[in-house]
Amino acid sequence: MSECNYLYGNYSAEKRVTVLSQMLDFCGVEKDRLRARWVSSAEAPEFVEEINAFIDVLKPLGPSPLKKQTSKDVA
């Protein structure tokens, strides 16, 4: 975390993601649908690995309850 090219952006993002994931949970959206991971552009294999792991977590959760169709049906 101390190696950010832009110095502190990653810390700012980390703090905000901490707050946001709990707010999503509070509003009834699964926390696991939000993921933050810091990779550099030189770490392609790590990125692929992370995305694949994320897909494995998302598939059992199913489609997002926020798909536009859902809300328009009720309105």
Residue 2 phi, psi (nearest 5): -90, 10
Which residues, numbered 14-73, are part of the site for another protein (CB under 8 A)? 15-16, 18-20, 22-30, 65-66, 71-72
CB of 11 to another protein, least distance (A): 5
Distance in angstroms (rounded) separating the CA atoms of residues 64 and 47: 23
- The nearer residue to another protein, 19 or 55, going by C-beta atoms, is 19
Distance in angstroms (rounded) separating the CA atoms of residues 60 and 35: 16
- The nearer residue to another protein, 15 or 49, going by C-beta atoms, is 15
CB of 21 to another protein, least distance (A): 10
CB of 23 to another protein, least distance (A): 6
CA pseudo-torsion sign 47, 32, 64, 25: negative
